[in-house]
Amino acid sequence: MQAPLALLGFGLGVLAWYRDGQLLFLGGALFMIANWPWTLVVMMPVNKKLMATPLEEAGAGSRGEISKWNALHAIRTVFGAFAVVAFVFGLVR
């Protein structure tokens, strides 16, 4: 569900930029779509490693990977927050 919403937000942000010329809309659109490459290139290897770990072998190393995944996921949240801020500032200008 997140991927289609990111794509929709990107498309609408680009459309708003095209119609209004406000660069903040383009910036918000780019922050929206930045989640895709971040997830595929940076987060996916960590996720695959975690998913491949059998429950019997989970331990301190797994806990470290989960913490790493959590930090990487927080960056995705920051991308979304920046997108919202850019869109809001684009609207009030």
Query: Cα–Cα distance between 91 and 72 in angstroms, integer?
Result: 29
pLDDT by residue (tens digit) across 56-92?
Answer: 888 888 899 999 999 999 999 999 999 999 999 999 9
* Domains of the chain by residue range: 2-92
**Contacts by 46-50, CB closer than 8 A, 24 or more apart:** 46/72
Residue 65: the pLDDT is 92
Instruction: Tokens for 38, please give them.
Output: 């971040």
**DSSP state at residue 54:** -
Q: Which token pair is 5? A: 């919403």
Please give the C-alpha separations between residue 54 and each of 30, 66, 69, in angstroms, as whole numbers: 37, 14, 17
Burial of 7-40, coded b for 16+ CB within 10 Å and e otherwise, reads: eebbeebbebbeeeebebbbbbbbbbbbbeebbe
Asked whether the predicted pLDDT for residue 55 surpasses 90, the reply is no
Cα distance between residue 48 and residue 61, in whole Å: 14
- pLDDT, one tens digit per residue, over 15-26 is 999 999 999 999
- pLDDT single digits (tens) 27-50: 999 999 999 999 999 999 999 999
pLDDT at 74: 96
Q: What is the pLDDT of residue 46?
A: 95
pTM, two decimal places: 0.85
